[in-house]
Chain A
């Protein structure tokens, strides 16, 4: 299995509070992604990174920011959490991006966030 760990795995928070989810990989992979998964919507891309300090928005980026200061770590921050951000968040490495189709995506185990 690809070495991807997410933390925290579960979090309950209140509306308006900041939340940071961490993704750590040991594969030295260039590309990292944050997805959210909601019933009926499948996985939707929030933000992605194609290198240290190189990030860009996905299809549902509003209300989220990311940072990648090291190859192995990709942080997702909800500056002021809302109930609509209650979801399961998956980090992934690999996949396709830009001019490259690198194929398979490897996912972390997910972080279940509840915003009350």
Chain B
């Protein structure tokens, strides 16, 4: 079982739609959580950190459920420019910190 798992998609949604991605992690020692965005043939860039209390940045909302060991990303009012791959990232402290990337979820937003 992978340490961080994501639905690879692709998710095909029309402009204006709301779309949600989930990510599960296997190690309860995980301590910090992030969503990165990666455009086609580009480098990953931090989209947002994920906090236990949940956090929002404009149209994007991230949630963390430690009991069930999953994190989510909600995108409201999708734009064409949201088309990208979204990477779930977990930092674990297993004696030393380790960063684990999910394989990513592809999103296509259509006009």
Contacts and interface: CB of A to CB of B under 8 A. Distances in A.
Interface in B1-43: 4, 8, 31-32, 34, 36, 41-43
Contact of A109 (B31, B36, B43, B99): B43
Nearest to B103: A42
A100 B14 CA distance: 41
A43 B99 CA distance: 10
A42 B87 CA distance: 8
Main secondary structure of the interface of B (DSSP, over half): strand
A108 B43 contact: yes
- B-side interface size class: 20 to 34
A96 B34 contact: no
Given A42-B102, A43-B101, A101-B32, A107 B43 contact: yes
Interface of A: 35, 40-45, 90, 95-101, 103-105, 107-110
Given A90-B44, A107-B44, 18 more contacts: A40-B103, A41-B103, A42-B87, A42-B102, A42-B103, A90-B43, A95-B99, A96-B32, A96-B91, A96-B97, A97-B96, A98-B96, A99-B96, A99-B97, A105-B44, A105-B89, A107-B45, A110-B43
